[in-house]
């Protein structure tokens, strides 16, 4: 029996997240949306297309009016308005109408971009998230944030737009390469750090099974992560307040991601940003020194970085100011009071942020000493 979570708004169910171990149930789940009368477009990237598009299409092909696949080049560089325009053109060529449906098959870039197309094409068509990376399963496919990057601004153009369903094939996590997999673990650890100390302990206690990618552990890890995200996004779906805590580690993380031109994985940057944010929390008297070092060192056994070389801290600092999580000229910085409790702080100064960046900066002079 598959597990499910329902995301509600104003006490009304909006969409379900279903947890499966293959794609077999996808057509049955979509039958609830009368797909027999709809055209479906599977939107994916070049990498995921080779892995899963055939399997997904064979499950769906006799169950809908028409099925087409659109794949764009994989990677963050595709998350832009040019890709959105190309998808619009493809949908127009294939005469997609308002009653038809888009399926986002892939990681965060596919989900965010497809969601934005769904929100805007013909003023909104239905879409379903089928996340295949850990990062997408525990974070980006849940909560209705859609959008693309614009110039150096990450996720700058977008919309809150809810999927009709999120279908997770947990077994897809087994085919991820190690860097992609551990990148997702950074977001899993985030939920423990910001929301629940027991979950953080569970992650550490389950380290062996997490490394082994034991399927039951993976399912529990994804389900628990989504449960914490559900608690936050149900209270604050459009990030007027508390939802901002989900950005823990992301202000400096996004700046590093951009500075390194997306050569590092998103979760690697989030781990670095989390260490810097925990350091600032210590410096501001919220965490003890021991708590800071424990948080920092716990990323290491999950193959996540806690320091970085070849950066210019001043430029990283400047990029934090181009992050969209601003309130006037103040950054809405997420700090930790303790493991399991995040706070939003708009008093963090440039010097404090710079000190956080220096804490994770492993310069050549350090090496010489």
Give ∠ CA 142-133-340 in degrees, rounded to 5: 55
Binding span for ligand GLY by CB under 6 A among 55-63, 139-147, 313-321, 339-347: 139-147
- Rounded least distance, CB 146 to ligand GLY, Å: 10
Task: Determine contact, residues 283/355, Cβ cutoff 8 Å.
Answer: yes
Task: Determine contact, residues 56/130, Cβ cutoff 8 Å.
Answer: yes
Applying CB under 6 A, which of residues 38, 145, 154, 258 lies at the interface with ligand GLY? 145
Task: Determine contact, residues 146/15, Cβ cutoff 8 Å.
Answer: no
Binding span for ligand GLY by CB under 6 A among 44-52, 59-67, 92-100, 138-146: 138-146
Site for ligand GLY contains 243 (CB under 6 A) = yes
Q: How far apart are CA 45 and CA 280, in angstroms?
A: 38
Task: Determine contact, residues 144/114, Cβ cutoff 8 Å.
Answer: no
**Closest to ligand GLY by CB, 64 or 265:** 265
Site for ligand GLY contains 115 (CB under 6 A) = no
Site for ligand GLY contains 38 (CB under 6 A) = no
Site for ligand GLY contains 139 (CB under 6 A) = yes
Residue 34 CA to chain centroid, in angstroms? Answer: 29
DSSP letter string over 201-222?
HHHHHTHHHHHHT-HHHHHHHH
- Rounded least distance, CB 216 to ligand GLY, Å: 26
By beta carbon distance, the residue nearest ligand GLY is: 246
Indicate the pairing of strand 101-106 with strand 326-327.
unpaired
- Rounded least distance, CB 317 to ligand GLY, Å: 22
Residues 6+ apart with CB under 8 A from 28: none
**Closest to ligand GLY by CB, 69 or 156:** 156
| DSSP annotation of 94 | T
- Rounded least distance, CB 221 to ligand GLY, Å: 17
Site for ligand GLY contains 305 (CB under 6 A) = no
- Rounded least distance, CB 16 to ligand GLY, Å: 18
Site for ligand GLY contains 246 (CB under 6 A) = yes
Closest CA to 133 of 164, 160, 111: 111
Size of the site for ligand GLY (CB under 6 A): 5
The structure tokens listed for 361 are 């900066």
Task: Determine contact, residues 342/250, Cβ cutoff 8 Å.
Answer: no
Site for ligand GLY contains 325 (CB under 6 A) = no
**Closest to ligand GLY by CB, 137 or 361:** 137
Binding site for ligand GLY (CB under 6 A): 139, 143, 145, 243, 246
């Amino acid at each position: 029996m598959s597990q499910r979570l329902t995301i509600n708004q104003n006490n009304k169910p909006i969409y379900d997240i279903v947890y499966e171990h293959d794609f077999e149930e996808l057509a049955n789940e979509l039958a609830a949306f009368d797909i027999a009368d709809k055209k479906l477009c599977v939107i994916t990237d070049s990498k995921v297309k080779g892995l899963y598009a055939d399997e997904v299409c064979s499950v769906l092909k006799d169950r809908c009016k028409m099925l087409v696949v659109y794949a764009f080049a994989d990677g963050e560089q595709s998350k832009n308005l040019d890709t959105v325009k190309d998808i619009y053109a493809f949908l127009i060529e294939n005469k997609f109408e308002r009653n038809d449906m888009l399926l986002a098959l892939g990681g965060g870039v596919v989900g965010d971009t497809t969601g934005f197309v769904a929100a805007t094409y013909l003023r909104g068509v239905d879409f379903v998230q089928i996340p295949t990376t850990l990062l997408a399963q525990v974070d980006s496919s849940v909560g209705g944030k859609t959008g693309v990057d614009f110039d150096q601004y990450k996720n700058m153009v977008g919309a809150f737009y809810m999927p009709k369903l999120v279908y997770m094939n947990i077994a897809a996590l087994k085919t991820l390469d190690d860097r992609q997999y551990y990148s997702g673990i950074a977001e899993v650890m985030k939920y423990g750090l910001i929301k629940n100390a027991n979950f953080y302990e569970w992650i550490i206690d389950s380290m062996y099974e997490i490394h082994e990618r034991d399927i039951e552990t993976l399912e529990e890890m994804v389900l628990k992560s989504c449960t914490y995200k559900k608690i936050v996004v149900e209270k604050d779906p459009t990030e007027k307040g508390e939802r901002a805590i989900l950005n823990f580690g992301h202000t400096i993380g996004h700046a590093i991601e951009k500075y390194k031109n997306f050569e590092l994985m998103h979760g690697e940057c989030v781990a670095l940003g989390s260490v810097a944010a925990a350091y600032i929390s210590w410096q501001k008297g919220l965490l003890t020194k021991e708590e800071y070092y424990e948080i920092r060192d716990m990323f290491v056994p999950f193959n996540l970085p806690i320091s970085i070389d070849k950066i210019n801290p001043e430029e990283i600092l400047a990029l934090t100011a181009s992050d969209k999580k601003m309130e006037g000229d103040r950054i809405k910085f997420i700090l930790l009071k303790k493991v399991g409790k995040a706070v939003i702080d708009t008093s963090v100064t440039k010097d404090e942020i710079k000190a956080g960046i220096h804490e994770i900066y492993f310069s050549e002079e350090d090496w010489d000493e």
